[in-house]
Amino acid sequence: WNTDVHVPFVLPVEQLLTFVSIAVYWLLSLQHYQSYQAWLEHSVSDREDHHIEWVRNFLIALGLTLILWVALVVWDRWVAKLNYFEQFPFYLWLAILAYYLGTEGYRHARHSYPLWQQVSHSGSTAYPVRASMPLAAVPVREGVDISLRAHKWRERLVQEEWWRDPELSLQSLARHLGTNTSDLSRAINEGMGQNFNELINRMRVDAVKAALVHPHQSQGLLELAFAAGFSSKASFNRCFKLYTGQTPSAYRQSVLPTV
């Protein structure tokens, strides 16, 4: 059975179905990963704290593994037979890949990732929102000046200093303003020419810059960063360098009064 039926007929079908299955799940996983990363960019203010680099690394490694696996099968079937010892390094690599996925999953198990909020087909979020002030509850619709609405919402954001909340998200800001995430995102993107993450973190960086030039400022950089709403040193350093072109330490040195 093994020599006359399984190897020549059953095994090729099994291998083909295995490759197709892995390829389909790999593509779906990659699309989901990219969509989630894009959603983070437009929906949370602490986006830097939620990179899933270990998932990205695994997907890259899995894609390369699939290509290598197909190449080995083609070589074994149509070029030269590979014995157990010649195939052993590949199976060892599969074991390493599995251990990597398990180890990284365990290491990040306690990290709380933002819940991906789904949007209804009508363009509004599927969850209810409550306004903190009724005057802000008019949604952005066709015929309404998006730039004007965006300007008013930005004024409220600055006035209330909601940007100092390290857990501020597009959803929570929409609740503060009495609108939905779809209209708010559109106002930020089209009315301000930014995404949510950039809008909030620019405000935080500007607050740190203003504090650094204050003549009686005595706080450390991290104290200023946390007071401005940054939730980690990594996100603070990355955003500050992105929006000023300098590291926080270099910027502080550049604004210190010369003796």
The three-state (H, E, C) secondary structure of 53-75, written as one string: HHHHHHHHHHHHHHHHHHHHHHH
Give which of 205, 209, 250 is closest to 230, Cα–Cα.
205
Based on the domain organization, do 155 and 88 belong to the same domain? Answer: no
Q: What pLDDT tens digit does each residue of the chain (259 aa) get?
A: 777 788 778 989 999 999 999 999 999 999 999 999 999 988 998 888 888 999 999 999 999 999 999 999 999 989 999 999 999 999 999 999 999 999 999 999 998 888 886 443 334 333 333 333 333 444 445 545 888 999 999 999 999 999 999 999 999 999 999 999 999 999 999 999 999 999 999 999 999 999 998 877 788 999 999 999 999 998 999 999 999 999 999 999 888 765 4
Residues 102 and 151 in one domain: no
Q: Are residues 213 and 158 in the same domain?
A: yes
- Whole-number Å distance between alpha carbons of 88 and 98: 15
At 156, which CATH number?
1.10.10.60
Tell me, yes or no, whether 150 lies in a domain.
Answer: yes
| 11 within some domain | yes
Is residue 29 included in any domain, yes or no?
yes
Using the structure block, give the residue that is written with the tokens 């779809």.
Answer: 182
Whether 114 maps to a domain, the answer reads no
181 plus 88 within the same structural domain: no
Residues 150 and 247 in one domain: yes
**Structural domain span for residue 22:** 2-43+53-107
Residue 48 lies in a domain: no
Same domain, 33 and 97: yes
The Cβ of residue 91 has, within 10 Å, a number of other Cβ atoms equal to 10
Q: 240-246: long-range contacts at Cβ-Cβ below 8 A with a sequence spacing of 24 or more?
A: 240/205, 240/208, 243/201, 243/202, 243/205, 244/205, 244/209
Into how many domains does the chain fold? 2
**Residue 65 and residue 153 in one domain:** no
Crossing angle between the packed helical segments 233-244 and 221-228, to the nearest 10 degrees? 90
Looking at the fold, whether 176 and 91 belong to one and the same domain comes out as: no
Judge if 7 and 101 occupy the same domain: yes
Residues 167 and 71 in one domain: no
- Judgement on whether residues 172 and 102 belong to the same structural domain of the protein: no
How far is 244 from 202, CA to CA, in rounded Å?
Answer: 10
- The reply to whether 155 and 103 lie within a common domain is no
